Structure 1
Amino acid sequence: MNYARLTIALGLAALTAACGKKAETPVAAETNQAAPAAAMSGDMGNMAMAPSAPAQIMAKGHGTVTAIDKAAGTITLDHGPIPEAKWPAMTMAFKAAPAITDAAKVGDNVDFDLTLTGNTGEVTAISKK
């Protein structure tokens, strides 16, 4: 009975001592290099990587207003090439703040600033030519 208590006490002492230690990075036997990241332990090994946000690019364009949809918050422009986005000349709708859709009229020739995120753009400024 005393051996059972002694074994339990030693086991608990070993577990308590091990609780404060950090896990060591395993070393590959043949190459003597650290194991791959999948073998990591601790805080960083379980950290999920957040998806990166698409980069925003500022661009300028010239074109003609072909439609305005104030309810949807869009302005459609028949514009020339936009090199920053690698876009050829085309007609497309862009998001736009109410101040921009209120300032423009269908048929206006305009210069405009865009904020490009991925394949979409938002008109951030517009001026009549």
Structure 2
Amino acid sequence: MTMIRLTIALGLTALTAACGKKAETPVAAETNQAAPAAAMSGDMGNMAMAPAATAPIKAKGHGKVTAIDKTAGTVTLDHGPIPEAKWPAMTMTFKAAPAVTGAAKVGEKVDFDVTLTGSAGEVTAIQKQP
């Protein structure tokens, strides 16, 4: 019983001594930068990475106009997959020029051209499907 009390007392003492201390990040001597965390190791071969390219991607899509906000300069489309962006079918709001927002009507099925920069897109042309 005395051994258990001694173990608990030593444990509490160690915890109390550690309170308020910040964990230190190991520093690599040669570069003066923090060493990589151990949590970063492992197999990341199946992890999808965002493209590093900064150039915009031109893509085409098909969908239905669900909303138009001429004041904000946006059009919301319920569109099918866009393979160039590796996007599944979804409903998404895009930036759009006044010529685009003026040419579209809510409820219309449309074909559209979109310029993708990162994860954002801008509809550059829109045509009503026949």
**TM-score interval for Structure 1 and Structure 2 normalised by the shorter chain:** 0.5 to 0.7
RMSD (CA atoms): 1.3
Alignment size in residue pairs: 78
Following TM superposition, where does structure 1 have runs of at least 4 consecutive aligned residues deviating by more than 4 angstroms? none
Instruction: Note the alpha carbon deviations across 1:31-59, whole angstroms, 9 max, x for none.
Output: xxxxxxxxxxxxxxxxxxxxx97220000
**Residue aligning to 2:63:** 63
What is the TM-score with the length of structure 1 in the denominator?
0.59
**Residue aligning to 2:54:** 54
* Residues 1:87 and 2:70 are matched in the alignment: no
Give distance in 1, aligned partners of 2:85 and 2:59. 8
Which one has a bigger Cα radius of gyration? Answer: 1
Query: Which amino acid letter does the alignment assign opposite residue 64 of structure 2?
Result: T
Query: Which amino acid letter does the alignment assign opposite residue 67 of structure 1?
Result: A
* Residues 1:112 and 2:117 are matched in the alignment: no
**Residue aligning to 1:75:** 75
Query: Which amino acid letter does the alignment assign opposite residue 69 of structure 1?
Result: D
What is the TM-score with the length of structure 2 in the denominator?
0.58
